[in-house]
Amino acid sequence: MKQHPDAAAATVPAPASGVAAEAAQTSIAARAMASLRPQGSPYLEGLNPEQRRAVETTEGPVLVLAGAGTGKTRVLTTRIAHLVSTGKARPYDILSVTFTNKAAREMKHRIGALIGPAGEGMPWLGTFHSIGTKILRRHAEMVGLKSDFTILGMDDQLRLMKQVIVDQNIDEKRWPARALSSAIDGWKNRGLLPEQVPPGEAGAFAFGKGGALYTAYQARLLTLNAADFGDLLLLCLKLWRENPDVLANYQQRFRYILVDEYQDTNVAQYLWLRLLAQGHRNVACVGDDDQSIYGWRGAEVDNILRFEHDFPGAVVVRLERNYRSTGHILAAASGLIAKNEGRLGKTLRTEDVAGEKVTVSGAWDSEEEARQLGESIESLQAKQHPLSEIAVLVRISAQMREIEDRFVQLGLPYRVIGGPRFYERAEIRDALAYLRVTMNPADDLAFERIFNTPKRGLGDATLQILHGYSRSQRVPLLQAARSLIETDELKPRARSGVRALVESFSRWARMVGTQPHSEVAQTILEESGYTEMWQKDKSADAAGRLENLKEFVRSMEEFPDMAAFLEHVSLVMEASEQEGADRVSLMTLHAAKGLEFDTVFLPGWEDGLFPNQRALDESGRAGLEEERRLAHVGLTRARKRAKLSFAVNRRIHGLWSSTVPSRFIDELPASAVDVVDAPAHFSAGASRFDRNPTPFGSSYATPGWQRAQANTAGNQGFGQSSGQGFGRSSSSGRNNGGPRQIEGELVAKSTGAPSAFSDGMRVFHTKFGPGNVAAVDGNKLTVDFDKAGRKMVLDSFIQPG
């Protein structure tokens, strides 16, 4: 995109351009003008007083705490409309950042609806990354790049990291590229350039070479004229720090700044915003601390909690009126989130009816849970409830399989939202790599990717030769290949393969510009043998991949040229969801943020799964609070019906383990919740016992037992500080000792004898070696192994040591 904002503005029919010009000069007059308008502004109608305040407080820092379903997007878009139509700002004076492309698109759309085509001309509405890219391309030389730098996806990033690791003679096994890459990402998220990383931290990686690796990695990026996602922000910071005049220009340019989902910003984004906001200080951040669920990838809830401190004099507006959910659902969600300590505090209220209570039901195991889920959906379906208004939200994707299996069996149409994205599929990345090399012969990472795909008899040996030449002559791989086919460096066989490839790329490069770009792509895929490769492949998914390739080529037609297309896909890594069909939606809780449904099912509310043990282990109380926010997000997705469930047995890494209901269940206000008896039919449930008959089986599978379980859960007081680990909770209790051991018998086929182990005992495991028992739960032990760390193991694999 080379569109210059000022040029763009000239083409925008500015409704109040005369006023705008004055506004820039005489703010008093402008304000006076503005005060006249609201009465006649249709867009302000229907806003509640808080929303209106959020819209009309245009000057100075504003924090809008927008609870779930309180009309956040509406405020954001109306605010822009307000700024533009009062003449306080022209569309190109407003910087408006979102997190996802989807959010940006929706905002563009809605602004367009409010103020007409002027909104579509907003050049500075986009994601942090797309705006960062736009800024960087203009000043690329100042950070050592060229303006046509390529943006690396995660796979390129990893490949590059691997090379750097090898270059630095680090043991790749001990320090996998993944780990280092994520460390570097972490530093970038915190706005740290290589030299700014605290030495202690950098030293903790790769035998003290962490810092050196980061430096080397950045150097390689510059050589390749490439930037990774983190750089898109980090290099802006660098650019602005080193060139105050450039910064001043942007500070001046952005009269008003709006930020969506502020609770998800990381440190780099915060610094980025703060630098820009120091100009006019008109920065409005909209967010909800109770929906911050991305701490694990660098989001800092602190940013939102500290807003008033960071921007003195900030006006804080709370949007607490919820327009989405009925009373009980809201009460449940509010009651739950109130248990969090680190929050600014909001109380959602609704004027809607109380509606149905949130239901909680238990199941014997995850299979039965899925069965019940299917039945509930079918009965809703029988009552004409549209499937598209039903969502199943799970904590981890692994839960999806059983549910999908069930849906398939029932013939229930469903769709999985999230999951592997279109542009991340192997065939699409391959196709992209071909295009990238065609467009940019110096794109070594792309070249390497398709070097021998499809197979053309080229292996690692050949690649090493190319690399050697490329490095010594300081030319890109493709250039190296072009030179080497003139010599005898390569074996004849490899040489002919390389020659064919090199010549193809020259040919394809010549086609660009003379033929429509989608046709060029089509030709490339055919001539390279790539399409043929999949046609010959007779595995199950080959047909789907060919279909994807077709869709890929087709989607190119929506872009003016190949370069524009490539820019788009490097920033927009998302699938094109096809809407319309009446299907149940299945997704993770994370993927559900921002969506809403009439009916929401929330299976798997069990301690260890949700709240997730790993979050607890890694982040302690903060982790628990984030999990609780996730629960809150889940509940607030529901308009009319929220149905929680848990299973008492679940397979974890292939082993059956018994589980206890999530502590979150007990944190729900009782008045908003109905405990549901399990359905009375046990035909299917009984089959478990048919296979594994035990004297106790049937009685424990009765509804009464399940109710008892639910009650037991209530009485045990989960959720206090003690809860650590699947096993630890409260195994001493006689209430769960009985059933637990029987489950153990059924499930783990152990002897069922009471555990002979106790806390602190020295033990030996056939696989993990020596360790100390940290906790005992029936036949399951949590052991801190000397070498392998903390693991949960079955006692039958353990000997007293």
Partner DNA sequence: CAAGCGCATATTTTT
Partner DNA sequence: TATGCGCTTG
- Asked if omega into 454 is within 30° of 0 (cis), the reply is yes
Residue 71 Cα distances to 285, 286, 435, angstroms: 14, 11, 42
| Cβ distance to DNA smaller for residue 20 or 587 | 587
CB of 618 to DNA, least distance (A): 5
Tokens at 290, concatenated: 């109770």
CB of 493 to DNA, least distance (A): 9
CB of 470 to DNA, least distance (A): 18
SS3 content of the chain, % helix, strand, coil (to 5): 55, 15, 30
Tokens at 398, concatenated: 């692994």
Q: What DSSP designation does 451 have?
A: T
Helix (H) or strand (E) holding 50: helix 49-56
Q: How far apart are CA 707 and CA 739, in angstroms?
A: 14
* 73 annotated ligand binder: yes
Binding site residues, DNA, CB under 7 A: 99-102, 127-130, 154, 173, 176, 229, 296-297, 395-398, 418, 421, 452, 455, 457-462, 571-574, 587-588, 590-591, 612, 614-615, 618-619, 623, 627, 651, 653-654
Residues contacting residue 107 through CB under 8 Å, at least 6 positions apart: 73, 76, 77, 80, 96, 98, 125, 260
| Cβ distance to DNA smaller for residue 527 or 574 | 574
- 674-698 as b/e: b if 16+ CB within 10 A: ebbebbeebeebeebbeeeeeebbe
| Cβ distance to DNA smaller for residue 255 or 456 | 456
Q: How far apart are CA 108 and CA 95, in angstroms?
A: 13
CB of 181 to DNA, least distance (A): 11
CB of 99 to DNA, least distance (A): 6
Q: How far apart are CA 402 and CA 604, in angstroms?
A: 12
CB atoms within 10 A of CB 475: 17
Q: Single out the residue of 182, 106, 560 nearest to residue 568, CA to CA.
A: 560
* 581 annotated ligand binder: no
Tokens at 149, concatenated: 């730098």
| Cβ distance to DNA smaller for residue 620 or 738 | 620
The CA angle 163-168-169, to the nearest 5 degrees, is: 100
* 71 annotated ligand binder: yes
Q: Annotated active-site positions, please?
A: 72-73, 260-261, 291, 637
| Cβ distance to DNA smaller for residue 301 or 587 | 587
- The one-letter code for the residue type at 395 is R
CB of 385 to DNA, least distance (A): 25
What is the phi-psi region of residue 409: left when phi exceeds 0, alpha when psi lies from -120 to 50, beta otherwise?
alpha
Tokens at 790, concatenated: 């903390």
CB of 653 to DNA, least distance (A): 4
* 69 annotated ligand binder: yes
| Cβ distance to DNA smaller for residue 130 or 706 | 130
* 72 annotated ligand binder: yes
SS3 for 675-742, per residue? EECCCCCCHHHHHHHHHCCCCCHHHHCCHHHHHHHHHHHHHHCCCCCCCCHHHHCCCCCHHHHHHHHH
CB of 494 to DNA, least distance (A): 7
Q: How far apart are CA 64 and CA 316, in angstroms?
A: 6
* 66 annotated ligand binder: yes
| Cβ distance to DNA smaller for residue 362 or 623 | 623
| Cβ distance to DNA smaller for residue 242 or 405 | 405
Count helices and strands (H / E) in the chain: 36, 21
What residues pair up with 782 in beta bridges, in sequence order? Answer: 775, 792
Three-state secondary structure call for residue 775: strand
Which parts are annotated binding residues for ATP? 66-73
